Amino acid sequence: MRLLALMPSLYDTSPGQRYRLEQWEPHLRERGVEITYSPFECPRLHDIVYEPGQLAKKLTLVSQALGRRAALLRKIKNYDVIYLYREAALLGPAIYERLIHRSGVPYVFDFDDAIYLTYKSPSNGYLSYLKFAGKTRTNCRLAAHVMVGNPYLAEYARQVNKNVSVIPTTIDTDKYEPVDIKESAGPVVIGWTGSHSTLQHLDTLRGALAKLAQRESIRLRVIGTPHYQIEGVEFETIMWRSETEVEDLRAVDIGIMPLPDDNWTKGKCGAKALQFMAMGIPTVCSPVGVNTDIIQDNENGLIANSEDEWVEKLSLLIRSSALRSRLGKAGRRTIEEKFSAAVQAPRVYDVLESVVRKSPVAVDSVLQSVI
């Protein structure tokens, strides 16, 4: 099976890509899937796309990327199936997706955020108006099959396409090995991982963490942004890097994933919680979206809603290494059983294989290879 993967970002630079197709890739290749990656961005665009300013340069590089996408359309009949993650182009309506559909080559559309909602980027305010969030509905309708990261997104996709599968965000359990939970000699390290665009989620815990620091010995480890501070809280900030990601998480005693409750966060797929749980780190989450599907309170993690609940639940974990160990081990089992790449990749293959089997274009290519 020859698969062309249309991705927004360069390989191994985007969390969404890394926890979906890039992670399933080894398992798919074992089943005979030949994957060709085609990112929309180039290295120069990648370096500045989420930085403020440089609008003219961004527009120039985006225009060049649009040209590369157009040229690629002439080659898509060399493939049996197209895998489309989020969108074919960073800006504009669903032009490329419509052209792919007309070519007869089926495409599988995969998304793991509520990208159908209008969102104004803090670093690309003007360009945000060219995002055309409404094209997600078109992409769902034209796709041979839609894969989504959680049931909330599936409800949206099923409005226009009956062929929808929920494939959760997954973790490579060989890479994310569990840590040893033991009594902490110094401050208990509470960890959060994200980016500049999701710092607002951590901000919802400013009050709770400040209160907690008055009664417990804690240190906040923020991974993914160089500048963050809460008055009265000991903290450390670390820039996210692919090559040190797992090692940076190993120093965390308790993982947190706070979320405000809105339509955008309901589309989140729990990647931060899954990372901590895969490493056997006890995790506390807000009861928003897929979080309550992943975590059962006091069984494989903890759920906290109000500020007082966050202080209470974190205090329980800080004071009891036995509780941290029990919940951490249960969280790891949850990942191994339901959210590992090894478990979910065969389901992805089944989707791809079913699409290719039904496609006249794919059947023709198989016949030609036999002849």
The answer to whether residues 161 and 218 belong to one domain is no
Asked whether the predicted pLDDT for residue 366 surpasses 70, the reply is: no
Summarize the confidence of residues 39-49 as an average pLDDT.
89
Higher-confidence residue of 344 and 90: namely: 344
- In this prediction, residue 216 carries a pLDDT of 95
Rounded CA separation 241/223 (Å): 9
In a domain, 73, yes or no: yes
Asked whether the predicted pLDDT for residue 41 surpasses 80, the reply is: yes
In a domain, 183, yes or no: no
The answer to whether residues 66 and 126 belong to one domain is yes
- Give the tens place of pLDDT for each residue, 230-259: 988 998 999 988 889 999 999 999 999 999
Rounded CA separation 1/15 (Å): 26
The answer to whether residues 120 and 251 belong to one domain is no
- Report DSSP letters for 188-247, one per residue: EEEEEE--TTTHHHHHTTHHHHHHHHHHS-EEEEEES-S----TT--EEEE---GGGHHH
State the helix-helix crossing angle for 341-358 and 321-338, rounded to 10 degrees.
20
Owning domain of residue 258:
188-338
The answer to whether residues 149 and 265 belong to one domain is no
The answer to whether residues 39 and 24 belong to one domain is yes
The count of domains in the chain is 2
- In this prediction, residue 371 carries a pLDDT of 26
The answer to whether residues 118 and 152 belong to one domain is yes
- Give the tens place of pLDDT for each residue, 91-132: 889 999 999 999 999 999 999 999 999 865 554 455 566 678
The answer to whether residues 68 and 202 belong to one domain is no
- Computed over every residue of the chain, the mean pLDDT equals 91
The answer to whether residues 162 and 20 belong to one domain is yes
Residue 358 sits in a domain of what CATH number? 3.40.50.2000
Say whether 117 sits in a helix, a strand or coil: coil
The answer to whether residues 309 and 357 belong to one domain is no
**Band of pLDDT at residue 14, cut at 50, 70 and 90:** confident
> Position of tokens 């089926």?
106
The answer to whether residues 270 and 290 belong to one domain is yes
Q: Is 298 left (phi over 0), alpha (psi -120 to 50) or beta?
A: left
- In this prediction, residue 120 carries a pLDDT of 59
In a domain, 179, yes or no: no
The answer to whether residues 23 and 50 belong to one domain is yes
The answer to whether residues 212 and 315 belong to one domain is yes
